[in-house]
A and B are shown apart, each in its own frame.
Chain A
Amino acid sequence: MKRFSYTRPTEVSEALAEAEGEDVYFLAGGTNLVDLMKENVERPRHLVDITHLPLDRIEEVGSGLKIGALVPNSDLAHDPRVAERYPLLSLALLNGASPQLRNSATTGGNLLQRTRCYYFYDVATPCNKRDPGTGCQAIGGLTRLHAILGASPHCIATHPSDMCVAMAALDAVVHVESASGARTIPFEEFHRLPDDTPERDTTLEPGELVTAVELPPTRFDKHYTYLKLRDRQSYAFALVSVAAAMHLEDGVMTDVRLVLGGVAHKPWRDRDAEAFLSGKAPERAHFSDAADVVLAQARGQGANDFKIELAHRAIVRALDQAARGSPQSITDKRIA
């Protein structure tokens, strides 16, 4: 690990003042950053440890919730208000990582975790995300974890988070702060597609700190699911995951949410497919047509071509689970 200087402020303002300059990183749970530092993928000059900042609370705002950036993933998943009002988020969180990692990993850190592309991790190979302009070895290589939607000729990495897939479906808003002020970013605008600057995962500006994620009030407490398909049944990143939620009124779907994980550089929300389903009866034929809409532009990389068909089936199954009010169990691994 490259040597670095370190501070441990206790006030947000102190942390923001420290964030000026090149290669200054914020450290929260460390489950991703410390690992990347060990691999020399991330090489901070100065580390601002934010774990002692007062950003670890979940507060009521209006009829929604404001989740402090330092709330651990496990606390968020098991918070009674989240479990009752946003069970989709709890379910997605409990599908991610392991209990040990969820105890350390924070809400803000989960947003900012980096791709698990093997080539990004391997400093002996070129990677446009790690070292801009050097090329992409994933293209034409091992692409099991890689994108089928929204990829560019410069990068085919995927965003690995489960939590973020649910947050995209729930219309979350990210609160950020820097020494020059505070702003909010709608969830869909927080993560970005790689285009020709894959080194940028998000629209955060230098020196900005994620302070909270706000969940607006929703009523997706019955018709929802998070269906995650992976190479082993627990403690693995998604090949494909689907967050689906809807309201049902008089036998038709309204306010449908459909977001995919593991398939793109960001949680892949498809508003065209959502609009297509809205006003229709919850029938498999419509679910299949919606999957066609989502995947119309999907392109495999050879070794991950299977993910297109897998995603199609996962979308149909997830919408069916949501419509039936039968979310995927975390412990019973059979897909209901």
Chain B
Amino acid sequence: MYRFPQTVPKGVETEDAIPVRLVINEEPMVLDVPPWTSLLDLLRHRLALTGTKKGCDHGQCGACTVLVDGRRINSCLKLAVSLDGAEITTIEGMAGEDGALHPLQEAFVRHDGFQCGYCTPGQICSAQGLLNEGHAESREEVKELMSGNICRCGAYPNILDAIEDVLNDRVSEPRMPE
């Protein structure tokens, strides 16, 4: 995995920072974090894990979805200091050790589950959360339980096809333009 060096951004008064123990994409770390830093900003600005996207920054779009202890949350609305002891998985942690794509990533590629791609990391982390929860069986249920992720390009039918493939452990033909 590509890693940027950890740096403390300008303007952060280190005396305000509070130690937080986190495991991020299987790597344990202790970070000194100012209490007003969201998990999203910690990931993007401090750890340079920029796969997680900032869309609305108000919990209305789902682009910032990550997994905390296997559960999907909006990282923009979570203060990082609040997560002491948690395990976090971002889109950077979804692929296998050797860089092999995660089945959801493969399915999104196969079904063209995006246009601009900005919502995709959040869609994929959210879909993994949905699979972990185990409450979706039908396409209608997947639809309802993915409603926290907005796609402004409108790739919803293909996103659903991709998630349904992984849910049903199958590889289906991508839909062709009519």
Query: Which residues of A are in contact with B by a Cβ distance under 8 Å?
Result: 1, 3-6, 8, 27, 30-31, 34-35, 37-38, 47, 49, 51-52, 74, 78, 97-101, 103-104, 234-235, 330-332
20 A-B interface contacts by CB (under 8 A): A4-B35, A4-B36, A6-B81, A8-B18, A8-B81, A30-B77, A34-B38, A34-B78, A37-B36, A47-B35, A98-B62, A99-B133, A100-B59, A100-B73, A100-B74, A100-B129, A100-B148, A103-B129, A234-B147, A331-B140
**Is the C-beta of B110 less than 8 angstroms from some C-beta in chain A?**
no
A38 to B36, CA, bound (A): 9
**Is the C-beta of B32 less than 8 angstroms from some C-beta in chain A?**
no
Contact between chains at B16 and A34 (CB < 8 Å): no
Chain B residues within 8 Å of A5, by CB: 35
Chain B residues within 8 Å of A6, by CB: 18, 35, 81
**Is the C-beta of B82 less than 8 angstroms from some C-beta in chain A?**
yes
Residue of B nearest to A28 (CB): B82
Chain B residues within 8 Å of A234, by CB: 144, 147
Residue of B nearest to A232 (CB): B147
Q: Smallest CB–CB gap between A309 and chain B, Å?
A: 27
Chain A residues within 8 Å of B36, by CB: 1, 3-4, 37
**Is the C-beta of B72 less than 8 angstroms from some C-beta in chain A?**
yes
Q: What size tier do the contact residues of chain B reach?
A: 35 or more
A109 to B147, CA, bound (A): 22
A89 to B63, CA, bound (A): 29
Chain A residues within 8 Å of B57, by CB: 38
Chain B residues within 8 Å of A1, by CB: 36
**Is the C-beta of B168 less than 8 angstroms from some C-beta in chain A?**
no
Chain A residues within 8 Å of B144, by CB: 234, 330-331
Q: Given A4-B35, A38-B58, A332-B140, decide whether A99 and B148 contact each other with a Cβ distance below 8 A.
A: yes
Given contacts A4-B35, A51-B82, 20 further A-B contacts (CB under 8 A): A4-B36, A30-B77, A30-B79, A34-B77, A35-B58, A35-B77, A38-B58, A52-B84, A99-B126, A99-B130, A99-B145, A99-B148, A101-B59, A101-B77, A103-B129, A104-B73, A234-B144, A331-B141, A331-B143, A332-B140
Contact between chains at A235 and B77 (CB < 8 Å): no
Task: Choose one: A30, A47, A99, A330; the contact of B72 (CB below 8 Å).
Answer: A99
Contact between chains at A103 and B147 (CB < 8 Å): no
Contact between chains at B77 and A104 (CB < 8 Å): yes
A59 to B126, CA, bound (A): 30
A74 to B82, CA, bound (A): 19
Contact between chains at A78 and B147 (CB < 8 Å): no
